[in-house]
Chains A and B, each alone.
Chain A
């Protein structure tokens, strides 16, 4: 038995490089190439220009360095205070990733639990929503009263902020497995575990990764906010503490340096999550596929 029509269609699409392109297609190809380069070059140029503008504004207006430091001064602070700042960065990272881990596995486990029974979901989902909509700055002081260890308090705060997107996205994903596929699993007598393992979890993957992408940024925000609330009561070790402390001493360049470190960390977390998501989905999911034609 042959499969002429279908197979040929696929083959034809694969090899048509012999025919030269017409001008319109050439133009299209060229503009695509320009766009590829511009996508990287443009943001970098804008960034550099704004740093130069920042520097010029400071000079032209004779703004004193204890109000707005020039970029060079911030860089100096970043280098000179690196021993202190790097230690603070490590501490903040530890809280961020600790919270992200707990949020990821906790959110995933709760989502699986929720989808096992509608009643569990109906009963407990409101609690998740309450935790999510109550601002963390409002809850944090209480947490630091009840929890002795500052580190545990920080983790709890960051976790509360980060777990909801994982939970809600994964719950949605687990429930969105194709209806016919579910029937198929049922027809072949699949156990609950098999359905979860082979159908619901893979179907939830894109949703879960979407939640993770949000949770990555939120766990950093949660960690920083919690550090602010813990303030001087804490061991004074994270980047937020550095900002507070430098603020008390009017060491504005160090405040900027710490701020930059926080931003860069956030960006790196975002890029890492994007990469992980791309690697896991590139073979099959629409979001990770290059548009053809």
Chain B
């Protein structure tokens, strides 16, 4: 099947111009695996975009390419809103695991991105504490990661991503390892922060429910080769809370997205 390029998704919601633009990105690994094939995607400023798909569909590869951890085999990434002189993209990454340094305190972990830019502990103090306050951990700045629960570690990880005041937040299945109650809580907190600060979020998950609850645009991907098969808006108003999670609208979206996901997976069975 040929891959459709989505210039603008069918249900472009009230988001701004493209902040990251992927143009016919392909990625083939050295072992011959085609992780992505001619994928085009415009990520628009301020949107909460979820990449949803089965494992092996190249969701994480998309994020790695956006962060320049890996280069695409062919294709181009543009940052239309940035001036050419800008050296670094203002983005942050949250991994599936908290990925904290066990030998450093919570403060030391959140300080890290600033420290690598040469900002001293004293100069960074206010910004670090501000980031910790955003995730509600200001009282734990002197704790070590091992003293924290899984959810709290993830919060530290998020605080570390926020401390640089990024424009784009990339999250690679950040809550996949957490229990459902903690996950709901972190979902709500993340949404609240997103509404307040209005970053662009690219969120990778394989949970239909999480994708519908969080995002205002869901991009469904299929595997072998990784490609976009569906691009759908979620036009439910924010703030979203428990009412939304139990509403009929939510259930309808979940069904639609679930069907799209199954279609994406079935497509492979016929290949």
Residues in A lying within 8 Å of B, measured CB to CB = 1-7, 9-10, 178, 180-181, 183-190, 194, 198-199, 202-203, 205, 283-285, 289
A4 partner residues in chain B, CB cutoff 8 A: 185
B155 partner residues in chain A, CB cutoff 8 A: 3, 6
Q: How far is the CB of B163 from chain A (nearest CB, A)?
A: 11
B136 within 8 A of A: yes
Using an 8 Å CB-CB cutoff, how does the interface string of B96-109 with A read, 1 for contact, 0 for none? 01010111100000
Q: How far is the CB of B252 from chain A (nearest CB, A)?
A: 29
Interface residues of B in 121-149 (CB under 8 A from A): 134-137, 144-149
The CA-CA distance from A185 to B95 in the complex, in Å, is: 13
**How many pairs of residues, A versus B, come closer than 8 Å at their CB atoms?**
82
Q: How far is the CB of B20 from chain A (nearest CB, A)?
A: 15
B41 within 8 A of A: no
Max chain A C-beta neighbours (<10 A), residue from B116, B117, B145, B151:
B116
The CA-CA distance from A78 to B97 in the complex, in Å, is: 59
B81 partner residues in chain A, CB cutoff 8 A: none
The CA-CA distance from A178 to B99 in the complex, in Å, is: 8
Q: How far is the CB of B232 from chain A (nearest CB, A)?
A: 30
B144 partner residues in chain A, CB cutoff 8 A: 283-284
Q: Is the CB of B112 within 8 A of A198?
A: yes
The verdict on A284 contacting B93 (CB below 8 Å), with A6-B151, A186-B69, A189-B116 known, is no
Q: Is the CB of B99 within 8 A of A3?
A: no
Max chain B C-beta neighbours (<10 A), residue from A1, A4, A6, A185:
A6
Q: Is the CB of A285 within 8 A of B102?
A: yes
Q: Which of A5, A180, A284 makes the CB contact (< 8 A) with B181?
A: A5
Q: Is the CB of A187 within 8 A of B67?
A: yes
B151 partner residues in chain A, CB cutoff 8 A: 3, 5-6
Main SS of the interface on chain A? helix
Can you name 16 A-B pairs with beta carbons within 8 Å?
A1-B192, A3-B135, A3-B136, A3-B152, A5-B185, A10-B147, A181-B101, A183-B93, A184-B99, A185-B116, A187-B69, A188-B113, A199-B101, A205-B103, A283-B144, A284-B103
A284 partner residues in chain B, CB cutoff 8 A: 102-103, 144-146
B101 partner residues in chain A, CB cutoff 8 A: 181, 198-199, 202
Q: How far is the CB of A206 from chain B (nearest CB, A)?
A: 9
For chain B, the count of residues having a C-beta within 8 Å of the partner chain is 36
B189 within 8 A of A: yes
Q: Is the CB of B182 within 8 A of A5?
A: yes
Q: How far is the CB of B271 from chain A (nearest CB, A)?
A: 32
Q: Which of B97, B116, B134, B192 makes the CB contact (< 8 A) with A180?
A: B97
Q: Is the CB of B88 within 8 A of A189?
A: yes
Among residues of B, the one whose C-beta sits closest to the C-beta of A181 is B99
Among residues of A, the one whose C-beta sits closest to the C-beta of B192 is A1
The CA-CA distance from A41 to B115 in the complex, in Å, is: 50
The verdict on A289 contacting B134 (CB below 8 Å), with A3-B152, A205-B103, A284-B102 known, is no
Q: Is the CB of A10 within 8 A of B148?
A: yes
Max chain A C-beta neighbours (<10 A), residue from B68, B93, B193:
B93
The CA-CA distance from A285 to B103 in the complex, in Å, is: 7
Q: Is the CB of A180 within 8 A of B95?
A: yes
Max chain B C-beta neighbours (<10 A), residue from A10, A180, A188, A189:
A188
The CA-CA distance from A189 to B117 in the complex, in Å, is: 8
Q: Is the CB of B112 within 8 A of A188?
A: yes
Q: Is the CB of A6 within 8 A of B93?
A: no
A1 partner residues in chain B, CB cutoff 8 A: 134-136, 189, 192-193
The CA-CA distance from A183 to B97 in the complex, in Å, is: 13
The CA-CA distance from A285 to B137 in the complex, in Å, is: 22
Q: Is the CB of A6 within 8 A of B182?
A: yes
Q: How far is the CB of B164 from chain A (nearest CB, A)?
A: 8
The CA-CA distance from A161 to B88 in the complex, in Å, is: 49
Using an 8 Å CB-CB cutoff, how does the interface string of B29-44 with A read, 1 for contact, 0 for none? 0000000000000000
The CA-CA distance from A221 to B22 in the complex, in Å, is: 63
A202 partner residues in chain B, CB cutoff 8 A: 101, 103-104
Max chain A C-beta neighbours (<10 A), residue from B69, B134, B144, B149:
B149
The CA-CA distance from A186 to B97 in the complex, in Å, is: 17
The CA-CA distance from A188 to B193 in the complex, in Å, is: 23
B182 partner residues in chain A, CB cutoff 8 A: 5-6
Q: How far is the CB of A15 from chain B (nearest CB, A)?
A: 15
Given A187-B93, A188-B117, 12 extra CB contacts under 8 A: A3-B135, A3-B185, A7-B152, A10-B148, A10-B149, A10-B152, A178-B99, A184-B93, A185-B116, A186-B69, A202-B101, A284-B144
Interface residues of B in 214-252 (CB under 8 A from A): none
The CA-CA distance from A213 to B144 in the complex, in Å, is: 26
Among residues of A, the one whose C-beta sits closest to the C-beta of B152 is A6
Interface residues of B in 52-90 (CB under 8 A from A): 67-69, 88
A183 partner residues in chain B, CB cutoff 8 A: 69, 93, 95
